[in-house]
Amino acid sequence: MPAHPSSADLDDPAEPGDSPAPAASAVLPDTAAPGGGGTPGGAGGPGEPGDPAGPLRREQAHLAASRAALRAMRADAEALDITDVTANWVNAAVLRSQIDGRIKALADHAGTPLFFGRLDYLHPPGAERTEEAVETEDARDPEDAEDAGQTGETAAAGGAARYYIGRRHVHDADGDPMVVDWRAPVSQPFYRASPKEPMDVALRRRFGYTGGELTAYEDERLSDPAAAETVSRLLQTEIERPRVGPMRDIVATIQPEQDEIVRAGLGGTLCVQGAPGTGKTAVGLHRVAYLLYAHRERLSRAGTLVIGPNRSFLRYIEQVLPALGELEVAQATVDDLVAHVPVTGTDTPEAARLKGDARMAEVLRRAVRSGVRPPGEGLVVVRGSRRWRVPAEELRQIVDELLGRGIRYGAAREALPQRIAHAVLVRMEAAGEAPDDRTQNAVARDRAVKAAVKAIWPPVDPAKLVLRLLSDAAFLAEQAEGVLSAGEQALLLRPKPPRSVRSAAWSAADAVLIDEVRDLVERTPSLGHVVLDEAQDLSPMQYRAVGRRCTTGSATILGDLAQGTTPWSTAAWSEALSHLGKPDGRIEELTEGFRVPRDVIAYASRLLPAIAPGLKEATSVREAAGALEIRGVDAAGGGSGGEAGGGDGDGSGGPGPRPGLAAAVAEACREALEHEGSVGLIAADARVPALAGALAAAGLPYLSPGEETTADARLTLVPASLAKGLEYDYVVLDEPAAVVAAEPDRRTGLRRLYVALTRAVSGLTVLHAEDLPPELG
């Protein structure tokens, strides 16, 4: 049974070395949090070694010294003179920008603690020890070094080593580490070591910060055989800390099962299934930061990319990587990746589903190659007074060979003139001439050869080709024969074919088709690593679009099958991996939920049998059971709070939500705002205008998703279609039945509801005038 570490007063810090060692001990003021955001401010007092005020002062002193060292590192970078070291101005500019980047990265952000943990190893990591040393060192108490007032990376000569773990590496004037990067191998036990597997760590210390000041610490004596597994109070405090502003990093509190994913090698593709709030997004972002650290050169050459579901989600997560010192990672939606044409049209769900079907890849492949016309007649090249003839049969062989090699259409097109020229050269040689490379190049550029290539292997304009497929029934029938049924082909055809690529109203799914064609013509450059979040919503064709951006790299795929809300959402991760071109990808599961409190996740999980029967219910590591309230509103009788401005019907005249619900919802928002932290009002998209009116009538200002919450603006009105991936301390959910009804089918509707029900960190209030979906009962 996990137990909390004992806590002690700041005035009477319990020095672990002073008394018989408890398994874990702590100096914890109530407000301390390891993430430690807050007001600017320096570290605590200078803390002389041996200061009777105890270890807290010494830790504060180490913080102050580390800050000073960081300032010195920055000053050194600023003072670098590159006038004489570079040969030319281009090199100088490159070097200058690298130095500027380093100066930026060396900034000391007052609100961000320079270190959040400490490890005292029993032995210097990696060092070989003699038997005698093993005996004496094992008998030593690592705290002895601290009692002697030593701080720094090496706690005692020839013995234990001490490391402070932080967001970045800081060294002193001699180059000795004051703080080591959390991603360094020596930092790993901070996240993984346990009393069962101490990883040679005697003591793990977590630090708590209040308003930028180091005010607390918490110890675990991992090599003490009597030590029991404990739940860190600093960790709990961090998890429960109200969310205001964009997503923050979890570098101080990454959990062992998460760390395994964060530090998995760059070589393979990893797919993570996880229930809402298990930290998939957080883990994916920390994994990028880790990979950039471990494979900096390779990845900065090849590039890394984080793909999220929409702009507001990307805005929500965009601060995490910069906070971890990584400023260069690109972020995009799948739509951004394939934005070759402006998207102004929409598809019916059936058409969109078909356009996203993997069979479309074969149709497109055929369509691209359909342009190749085997030559009907031979080719004559005139060189000086002589004419060289390549017969049609030989040209056909060349074309067949190029088609059979499976190279890109464009590459084959470039190779064709050289192949024809080669055939001419063979004839020249047979006739006793001695042509060289220059002759071959000249023949390849010959007018007759160029004309033949144009006729045999015409250039392909990807958008034009897709437009033709979608508007020319005969052409589509030819390419889709045996692949798509006649009914499916009819679904693809536009009723009124547009005149040109420019005037066509392209849909998002069309853009993916164009991207596929572009890749058939010319290879899409591959990045070093791609992180794909909320992956369950991608169509097979979208997976292919992502996969071709990491053909020579690897990917981290994050998602939850129960949250799939597109008509084509993923049924099994193995399928997704094969569409991505990574069939050997490893599938992992995260099971511990960090966001949603127990009672709330239990309520939402009632939907699981209907939406994802195979999936396990998430467990919640949250201490608070969470406030869950379901309020039926008698809207017909005016309900609680009366009529809202702006009308409140569903506009259909049917049995939709009635007047009064919106006002009751606004009132629930007002109540939620009495708590600390952010409030999200989630509603079916069509209900948003009515609720906006009710909030305005109630005098409650609100934000849209993606707009940053601040201490003064804490309420966001969230259309259910944008709620995915976001979280709020308190969620008010409007009319579940309307959320379900807004989707084309019931299962998707219930999944959308599941997403909406799992956004709350502390409390959820559900208001309904219609009956709740029976699956929730």
Q: Which residues are annotated as a binding site for ATP?
A: 274-281
Contact 350, 356 (CB under 8 A): no
- Taking the complex as a whole, how short is the minimal distance between the CB of residue 367 and ligand ATP, in angstroms? 37
By the 10 Å C-beta count (0-12 exposed, 13-18 middle, 19+ buried), 745 is classed as: exposed
Which has the closest alpha carbon to 689: 708, 704, 674, 678? 704
Which residues neighbour 659 within 8 Å (Cβ) at sequence distance 6 or greater?
635, 638, 643, 644, 647, 648, 649
Q: Which residues bind ligand ATP (CB under 6 A)?
A: 238-239, 250, 253-255, 258, 274, 276-282, 560, 594-595, 725, 727, 758
Q: Which is nearer to ligand ATP, 17 or 246 (CB)?
A: 246
| Measured distance CA(219)–CA(1) in Å, rounded | 18
Instruction: Note the Cα 348 to chain centre separation in Å.
Output: 29
Q: Which is nearer to ligand ATP, 238 or 735 (CB)?
A: 238
Q: Which is nearer to ligand ATP, 423 or 757 (CB)?
A: 757
Both tokens assigned to 221: 């004596």
Strands 330-332 and 304-307: parallel
- Taking the complex as a whole, how short is the minimal distance between the CB of residue 205 and ligand ATP, in angstroms? 17
- Taking the complex as a whole, how short is the minimal distance between the CB of residue 678 and ligand ATP, in angstroms? 11
Name the binding residues: 274-281
- Taking the complex as a whole, how short is the minimal distance between the CB of residue 141 and ligand ATP, in angstroms? 30
**Residue with the closest Cβ to ligand ATP?**
279
- Taking the complex as a whole, how short is the minimal distance between the CB of residue 578 and ligand ATP, in angstroms? 23
- Taking the complex as a whole, how short is the minimal distance between the CB of residue 213 and ligand ATP, in angstroms? 21
- Taking the complex as a whole, how short is the minimal distance between the CB of residue 238 and ligand ATP, in angstroms? 5
Q: Which is nearer to ligand ATP, 425 or 596 (CB)?
A: 596
How do the residues of the chain divide into helix, strand and coil, expressed in percent and rounded to 5? 40, 15, 45
Strand, coil or helix: what is 693? helix
Q: Which is nearer to ligand ATP, 218 or 560 (CB)?
A: 560
Q: Which is nearer to ligand ATP, 479 or 758 (CB)?
A: 758
Which residues neighbour 566 within 8 Å (Cβ) at sequence distance 6 or greater?
537, 538, 539, 748
For the chain, the distance separating the N- and C-terminal CA atoms, rounded to the nearest angstrom, is 33
Which residues neighbour 12 within 8 Å (Cβ) at sequence distance 6 or greater?
none
551 Rama sector, left if φ>0, alpha if ψ -120 to 50, beta otherwise: alpha
| Measured distance CA(393)–CA(545) in Å, rounded | 38
| Measured distance CA(37)–CA(109) in Å, rounded | 10
- Taking the complex as a whole, how short is the minimal distance between the CB of residue 285 and ligand ATP, in angstroms? 8
Q: Which is nearer to ligand ATP, 511 or 590 (CB)?
A: 590
Q: Which is nearer to ligand ATP, 151 or 716 (CB)?
A: 716
| Measured distance CA(5)–CA(163) in Å, rounded | 22
